Structure 1
Amino acid sequence: MVTLIAEDLLLLLLDDESGKLTGTSYPQPALGGALLIELALSGAVEVGDKTSVWRTAKVRAVPEQPPEDPILRAAYDVVAEKERSAQDLVDRLGKGVRDRLADQLVERGILERRDDKVLGLFPRTRWPAVDSTHEDGVRRALTGALVQGQDPDERTAAIVALLHALDKAHKVVDHDGISSKQVRARAKEISEGAWAAKAVRDAINAAVAAMTAAVAASTAATTAATS
């Protein structure tokens, strides 16, 4: 089954039984970053050169390279509107995409959509797992890379980079006797490794840096609000 990297990331962050997001409270930049990385891997976008130390390099769409998947195509169209920074794009691309990705996974028979109300008043949607076969395969590939020291393929390495940016790599695999610190270190090693061409790496690095900044900002805002 062919899925988007963003779909795989969402599956990893959803609790299979409850259908709740358990891995992050800030899915928008994470899923937006996943879409941006997939566009880079497919050659649909590229990062321009920095014109000065004060300016952020801009991401631009590659003409005549629109993807077929409707969610990915919508993301491509946003990038194609004009050149923007990766930090701008991860929020734009991630806006509202969680529900679209989940509904697409429902159509694939992987998740089930459940709508209810909290206290009988507030609408809530959850997506418990129906068929975990694909997700189990993703976790096996991640375990091979993060725990068993195997060289990941490009797609698995991209998911590791996303999980590393969220500091969740150690949460999605069985450690098999090694520590969380060791899994984190391996995730960092893979994330920074030379597993993609330079043009793709530039886009991935920009997306991961933008995700990290967005997550840090969200965490700081939450801390300030509760202190």
Structure 2
Amino acid sequence: MTDDSIHPQRTRTLITEDLLLVLFQPDSGTIAGENTLFYVLAGGVLTDLARQGGAEIRDAGIRGTLISAAGDPPEDELLRPMWDYVLQKPRGVQGVLAASGPTLRGPVIERLIERGDLRREKRRVFGFFPSTALVEGGSGRRDELIAAMRAVLVEGEEPTERSAALTALVSASGTLPVLHREIPWSGATATRAKSLEQGDWAAGAAAAAVTRTMIAVVANSLITSAVVANR
């Protein structure tokens, strides 16, 4: 399996999109970790920006780690608002996630529907009241993403840059145990996931090194956000 090609025609799919698709629970039609989802999706966007050369990390000494814009404005409209935000001035990771996350859920769901990964299904509550539910779209992409994560976490396969980033973000969100029916949860699984959060995977390319560093920073912020949200 190549790095960005679960399906060859979808090489421009964002990690942010795959992240929400993995968190979608087909049995219930819900999304795991809704209480911190906007932080998690913003973490995905920041990771996507870094992978495309649009964001970089700066050590600001006593001010901590700051995120600043880099390169040209991203073409993808989902990434542009965050790039514009950090273009104004370097900002802390927690602030970037909080400022960018709240508007992401709807647009990402719409993209997944457009791609056929999810679809809306009309239903009736109590047989009378019309409602709409999200269901799998039949593309098979979620199954393939889960299989790639399971291969890394359970079977010990060396991850690609993309699968490592996706797995690390899911783990940092605190929702990985929710997937236990598809990815068996164990101490070994947790340990492997934590190592990915810390950027501990083999990757020789410069772009992969940037992703590893950004993932470690984002994962730390997501864990902090989850702790605060669940108090």
Q: TM-score, normalised by structure 1?
A: 0.82
- Three-state SS of the structure 1 residue aligned to 2:68 is strand
Q: Does 1:30 align with 2:31?
A: no
Give the corresponding residue for 2:227: 216
Residues 28, 170 of structure 1: alpha-carbon distance in 2 compared, 3 angstrom cutoff? same
Partner of 2:56, secondary structure, is strand
Contact 2:56-2:67 within 8 A present in 1 as well: yes
CA contact (8 A) 2:57 2:65 kept: yes
Q: Distance in 1 between matches of 2:221 and 2:195?
A: 19
Q: Distance in 2 between matches of 1:145 and 1:213?
A: 25
| Letter of the 1:139 counterpart | I
Q: Is the 8 A contact 1:111 1:130 kept in 2?
A: yes
- Matched residue of 1:149: which SS? coil
Report if aligned partners of 2:174, 2:226 keep a CA contact under 8 Å in 1: no
Aligned equivalents of 1:8, 1:218: Cα separation in 2: 23
Paired residues of 1:58 and 1:86 also in contact (CA < 8 A): yes
Q: CA offset at residue 172 of structure 1?
A: 2.9
How far is the alpha carbon of 1:15 from its aligned partner? 1.7
CA 60–117 in structure 1, closer or farther in 2 if over 3 Å, else same: farther
How far residue 70 of structure 1 moved from its aligned partner, in angstroms, is 1.7
- How many residues are matched? 215
**Considering only aligned residues, what root-mean-square deviation do their CA atoms show, in Å?**
2.8
Cα shift at 1:73: 2.4
Gaps of 5+ in 2: 1-9
Q: Which residue does the alignment assign to 2:91?
A: 84
The one of 185, 198, 211 equivalent to 2:191 is: 185
SS in 2 for 1:59: strand
Q: Choose between structure 1 and 2: higher strand proportion.
A: 2
The answer to whether structure 1 residue 15 and structure 2 residue 25 are counterparts is: yes
Q: Is the 8 A contact 2:38 2:101 kept in 1?
A: yes
Q: Tell me the alpha carbon deviations over residues 44-82 of structure 1, each in whole angstroms, 9 at most, x when there is no partner.
A: 100112322xx1221001032x32222122332222232
Which of 203, 214, 231 lines up with 1:203 in the alignment?
Answer: 214
Once residues 210 and 190 of structure 1 are traced to their aligned partners in structure 2, the CA distance between those partners, rounded to angstroms, is 15
Relative to 1, partners in 2 of residues 1:84 and 1:168: Cα closer, same or farther, differing over 3 Å?
same
Query: Using a 3 Å threshold, how does the CA distance of structure 1 residues 183 and 206 change in structure 2: closer, same or farther?
Result: same
Q: Does the 8 A contact of 1:115 with 1:124 survive in 2? A: yes
- Measured after TM superposition, the shift of residue 180 of structure 1 is 2.0
The TM-score with structure 2 as length reference comes to 0.81
Q: 1:47 aligns to what?
A: 57
Q: Given the alignment of the two structures, is residue 93 of structure 1 paired with residue 100 of structure 2, yes or no? A: yes
Q: What code does the residue aligned with 1:61 have?
A: A
Say if 1:126 and 1:179 are closer, same or farther in 2 by CA, change over 3 A.
Answer: closer
Give the match's secondary structure for 2:25. Answer: coil
Q: In the alignment, which residue of structure 1 is the partner of 2:113?
A: 106
Q: Residues 83-162 of structure 1 correspond to what in structure 2 (within 5 A)?
A: 83-113=90-120, 126-162=133-169
1:57 aligns with 2:65: yes
Shift of 1:194: 4.3
Q: Percent identity?
A: 31
Inter-CA distance 219–152: structure 2 relative to 1 (3 Å threshold): same
Task: Return 5+ residue gaps in structure 1 as ranges.
Answer: 221-227
Output the amino acid matched with 2:32.
T
On the 8 A contact 2:122/2:133 being kept in 1, the answer is: yes
Cα displacement (A) at 1:11: 1.0
Going from structure 1 to structure 2, the CA distance change for 1:96 and 1:115 (only over 3 Å counts) comes to: farther
